[in-house]
């Protein structure tokens, strides 16, 4: 260990004690938690995937994971919104970054999938910091293999990400969920997009998405129906299935998340996103990711702060899952 004073409980080694060590000091692990090699077991591993070779517009999400880690220095051990102490309920550790090939999407996908399987081999769950949304496909492959069954998917995003190809490429940040449906790793009775909005290439985009089994809750639906009604519909659709949650930070309005590659006007507020997530307490959450944070466009770290809180609530939900 590093011999720094930590807030620990229930036999779990927690974050560095901010009352004794200033938040801006020391290594920037997620929430100032111990590294994977500093603990004997892990319930949740936080891992970065510095990869953005699948983007179709602005690059930079390869630097997102460490940007979120820096913002996460402000997180505290107790989550009052969910009345839980996630780092006391679970042994959470920072597994560092996967070393992925930035020049070969195919090799990168294989590496992410194998690393995810290695990290979950002892029963741990993954909270992954991207990186662009291409990485969701190998993460879903690993989650379905560990679950032994196709998984339910709750996808927060401005975009559908069920397009077929870009410039003839089958694996990009706009195609992971189409590929996942085609591979049979998603439970097509329990798929939902939340927060989608903005122009599409044509009406057939929606028709194809519906054919894959997705239900859509647009950002306008969240506004008009309210968080509670949206949560009730999502819970009914998901049931007790093993659930994977994928959060593209561009689900938030650019006012709340300017630091992303493909921003769209009219998105969710950070409060709406967090409240929807908190409404999923008790579901069988087997893994999650937060992707598409691009620091170069993130003035005042607004996006990284939002992403760090999303990741924090996802970890809390893992401790409260069925």
In the chain, where does DSSP find H-type helix?
64-71, 86-89, 105-119, 136-147, 176-182, 203-212, 219-225, 227-238, 270-278, 302-319
* Burial environment of residue 301 by CB neighbours within 10 A (0 to 12, 13 to 18, 19 or more): middle
Residue 313 annotated as binding site: no
Decide: residue 123, CB within 10 A, 0-12 exposed, 13-18 middle, 19+ buried. exposed
Dihedral of CA atoms 183, 131, 43, 190 in degrees, nearest 10, equals -40
Flag whether 256 is marked binding: no
Give exposure, 232-261, as e/b (b: 16+ Cβ within 10 Å): ebbeebbeebbbbbbbbbbbbbbebbbbbb
Report how far residue 215's alpha carbon sits from residue 227's, in angstroms, rounded to the nearest whole number: 16
**Residue 98 φ then ψ, to 5°:** -70, 145
User: What's the rounded Cα separation, in Å, for the pair 41 and 229?
Assistant: 39
Residue 295 has a CB neighbour count (10 Å cut-off) of 20
Report whether 309 belongs to an annotated binding site. Answer: no
Q: What's the token pair of residue 153? A: 């998917």
159 is in an annotated binding site: yes
- For the record, the structure tokens of 149 come out as 């069954």
Q: Is 161 annotated as a binding residue?
A: yes
- Cα(160)–Cα(166) distance, integer angstroms: 14
Question: In whole angstroms, what is the distance from residue 313 CA to residue 310 CA?
Answer: 5
Residues annotated in a binding site for Mn(2+): 133, 157, 159, 161, 248, 250
Please enumerate, by residue number, every residue annotated as part of a binding site.
133, 157, 159, 161, 248, 250
């Amino acid at each position: 260990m590093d011999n720094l004073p930590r807030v620990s409980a229930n036999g779990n080694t927690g974050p560095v004690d901010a009352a004794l060590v200033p938040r801006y000091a020391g290594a920037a692990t997620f929430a100032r938690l111990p590294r994977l090699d500093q603990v004997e077991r892990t319930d949740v591993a936080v891992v970065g995937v510095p990869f953005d070779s699948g983007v179709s517009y602005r690059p930079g999400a390869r630097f997102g994971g460490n940007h979120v880690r820096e913002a996460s220095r402000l997180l505290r051990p107790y989550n009052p919104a969910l009345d839980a102490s996630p780092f006391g309920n679970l042994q959470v550790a920072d597994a560092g970054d996967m070393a992925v090939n930035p020049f070969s999407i195919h090799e990168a996908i294989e590496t992410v999938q194998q690393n995810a399987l290695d990290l979950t081999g002892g029963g741990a769950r993954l909270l992954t910091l991207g990186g662009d949304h291409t990485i969701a496909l190998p993460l879903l492959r690993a989650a379905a293999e560990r679950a032994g069954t196709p998984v339910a998917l709750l996808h927060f995003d401005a975009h559908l990400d069920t397009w077929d190809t870009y410039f003839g490429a089958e694996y990009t940040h706009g195609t992971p969920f189409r590929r996942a449906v085609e591979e049979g790793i998603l439970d097509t009775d329990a798929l939902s997009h939340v927060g989608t909005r903005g122009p599409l290439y044509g009406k057939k985009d929606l028709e194809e998405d519906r054919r894959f089994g997705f239900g859509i809750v647009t950002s306008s639906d969240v506004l008009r129906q309210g968080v509670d009604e949206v949560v009730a519909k999502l819970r009914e659709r998901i049931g007790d299935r093993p659930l994977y949650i994928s959060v593209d930070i561009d689900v938030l309005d650019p006012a709340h998340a300017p630091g992303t590659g493909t921003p769209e006007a009219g998105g969710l507020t950070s409060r709406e996103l967090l409240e929807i997530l908190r409404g999923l307490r008790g579901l069988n959450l087997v893994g999650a990711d937060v992707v598409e944070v691009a620091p170069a466009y993130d003035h005042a770290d607004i996006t990284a702060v939002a992403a760090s809180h999303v990741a924090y609530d996802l970890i809390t939900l893992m401790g409260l899952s069925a």
